[in-house]
Every structure is written in structure tokens, then in C-alpha cells.
Amino acid sequence: MASMRDIKRRKQSVSSTQQITKAMKLVSTVKLQKARTKAEQTSPYFEAMYSTICSMLAKAGTVDNKYLKDNGSEKKAVIVISSNRGLAGGYNSNIAKQITGSDLKKEDVKLYVIGHKAGDSLARKGYEVAKDYSPVMEAPTYADAISICNDVLEAYAAGEVGEIYLVYTHFKNTVSQVPKMMKLLPAEISEEDVQAASNSNVLMNFEPNEEEALELIIPKYVTSLVFGALTEAVASENGARMQAMDSATNNAEDIISDLSLKYNRARQGSITQELTEIIAGAEALT
């Protein structure tokens, strides 16, 4: 049986860890609230953007646009959004799994990494990292999304990559975050939405004409998607960390109560032993 001193020392160390996890939980709760309002504020912009794109495609039909058709390149650009800090449960490894578990071939993938964690683990596995924008994750702004998209779209326009994917964690609610992979380009918009847009009997005009307008609008559409994903990822990261720290705090609680029991038992044991020794000593004298 471990000595009383050992148990006591261990109990102290667990309880100081618990204090840290508790504090981290509180911090991420506050951050989550902020990030969530931010994520909610971006959604009207994105929804309006999406419906505009749908109505454009419904009107434009099969416009010959470089963003809508295959450019023949085998390479695939993947924008990976994870976090710069760990201790968020499975948050970062789930993101990495989205890529390793997908049917994309390792040689074909070019990563545009936002957030060290998933980026590093994928780089170790042998994926090619084209660019790293990790510092962005601290406080993503729309300007950041623009500069990331510019780089990726340039590569797309130059024919270096044929498809663009986005991997991020969708923020469903405080307790549920779902890692997601989505195809950005060539643009895929669900048939139903296009149908719905074309059924609303508004005859939309475009200025400049459809092709030029699409040319200008699709990059904006992609940027708005990336920005939306960034803000959601921040919310998800804090949500995941909050949960992880909550369960860590609970675990520490369990361990402490277990150790307390052991400590008390050991203390009682030593008292009993001392008493027996004293009594035995007294008996020997008489």
C-alpha cells in the first residue's frame, strides 16, 4: 500500500490539475459565447449569397464558366481549418481524419492549412502543405478569408489544382460539433435549390451580363463560405474544448474522492497500528 505521504502528494497534484481544467473550461465558455454570436451574424450574408448564386445559375443555365467546369488538373486543393491549441478533445484529430479517411489520394492533395494542429499531423503523414495561415485562427476577419481565397483561386485559375475542398467543423450546437468536408469548386449547387429559384417567377437581369457577373461573384461566394467556416470553426473549437475540460474536471473529481478514501484508510491503518504497538509495549512491561 502506498504511503500516506505519496497519496497526499498525488491528491494535491490532481487537485491543482483540476483547478487548471476548471479555469480553462470557464475561459472557453466565455469565448464560445462570443464566437457563437459572431458565427450567427455571418449567416444572413451567406444565405443571401447562396440564394443569389442559385437564382443566377437557374437563369444562366449552362454558362461556360471556368469556375463551373473541370479544368483537367488531377490535383486537389484542400483548405483545412483546425485550431492552434490542443486540449480540445477529438477536435483536431477528427479534422485530420476527414482527410486521411476520404477517398482523396495523398499524392494529389495540396493542403492550405489554417491551424497548426491538424496541419502538423497531416504533414507528418506525408501530405503536401502548400501554405500555412495558422495565425489567422486567433481572430479570423473577412480580410483573412479574402487573402486565403485569392491564393487558392489563383492556383485554380492557373490550372495547378482542379478541385477545391473545404474541411472544417460545423457548429451544430454547444454540445455537438460535426467535422465536415465540402466541395467548393467546381461549384456544386443542389438541383432542388436551383429549381426552387427558377420557379419563383422573377425574371432576374444581370449587369454586367451573366458570364461576367458570375466571374465576379463566384470568388465572393467562395470567400463567404470560407469566412463562414472560419467563424464556425472558432465556435466549434471552443465548444469542443469546453466539453473536454468539463469531463477532465469531472474525472479529477472522481480521482480525488478515490484518493481521499485511500488516504483516510491509510491514516486509520497507521493509527490502529500505533495503538496496537503501545498496548503491546504496555503489556510487556507489566
Partner 1 sequence: MADNTFKISIVTPERILYEGEATMVEFNTVEGQIGVLPMHIPLTTVIAPGICTITEGETQKKAAVHAGLAEILPDKVTLLAEIAEWPDEIDLERARSAEDRARERLANKGDDVDVLRAEIALKKALVRQDILA
Choose which of 23, 26, 30, 48 interacts with partner 1 (CB under 8 A): 48
* Cβ pair 256, 12 in contact under 8 A: no
Choose which of 142, 182, 187, 256 interacts with partner 1 (CB under 8 A): 142
Residue 132: strand pairing partners: 113
Residue 61 or residue 281: which is nearer to partner 1 going by CB?
A: 61
Residue 92 or residue 224: which is nearer to partner 1 going by CB?
A: 224
Interface of this chain with partner 1, residues 65 to 104, rule: CB under 8 A: none
- C-alpha span between 235 and 172 (Å, rounded): 10
Residue 182 or residue 217: which is nearer to partner 1 going by CB?
A: 217
- C-alpha span between 77 and 246 (Å, rounded): 36
Residue 119 or residue 228: which is nearer to partner 1 going by CB?
A: 228
| Binding of partner 1 by 157 (CB under 8 A) | no
Choose which of 98, 224, 238, 243 interacts with partner 1 (CB under 8 A): 224
Burial group, residue 20, by CB count within 10 angstroms (0-12, 13-18, 19+): middle
Choose which of 34, 45, 125, 258 interacts with partner 1 (CB under 8 A): 45
| Binding of partner 1 by 50 (CB under 8 A) | no
Choose which of 203, 280, 282, 284 interacts with partner 1 (CB under 8 A): 203
- C-alpha span between 53 and 230 (Å, rounded): 21
| Binding of partner 1 by 129 (CB under 8 A) | no
* Cβ pair 127, 108 in contact under 8 A: no
Residue 55 or residue 121: which is nearer to partner 1 going by CB?
A: 55
| Binding of partner 1 by 146 (CB under 8 A) | yes
| Binding of partner 1 by 213 (CB under 8 A) | yes
| Binding of partner 1 by 202 (CB under 8 A) | yes
| 214-244: burial string, b at 16+ Cβ within 10 Å, e else | beebbbebbbbbbbbbbbbbbbbbbbbbbbb
* Cβ pair 234, 35 in contact under 8 A: yes
Choose which of 216, 261, 275, 278 interacts with partner 1 (CB under 8 A): 216
Whether the bond between 186 and the residue before it is cis, its omega within 30 degrees of 0, is: yes
* DSSP states of 12-29: HHHHHHHHHHHHHHHHHH
Whether the bond between 179 and the residue before it is cis, its omega within 30 degrees of 0, is: no
Interface of this chain with partner 1, residues 227 to 246, rule: CB under 8 A: 227-228
What's at 148, amino acid-wise? I
Cell numbers linked to 141: 476577419
* Closest residue by Cα to residue 97 from 137, 125, 132: 125
| Binding of partner 1 by 52 (CB under 8 A) | yes
Given the rule CB under 8 A, which of 27-35, 41-49, 167-175, 259-267 is the region that contacts partner 1? 41-49
Binding region for partner 1 (CB under 8 A): 38, 41-42, 44-46, 48-49, 52, 55-56, 141-142, 145-146, 202-208, 213, 216-217, 220, 223-224, 227-228
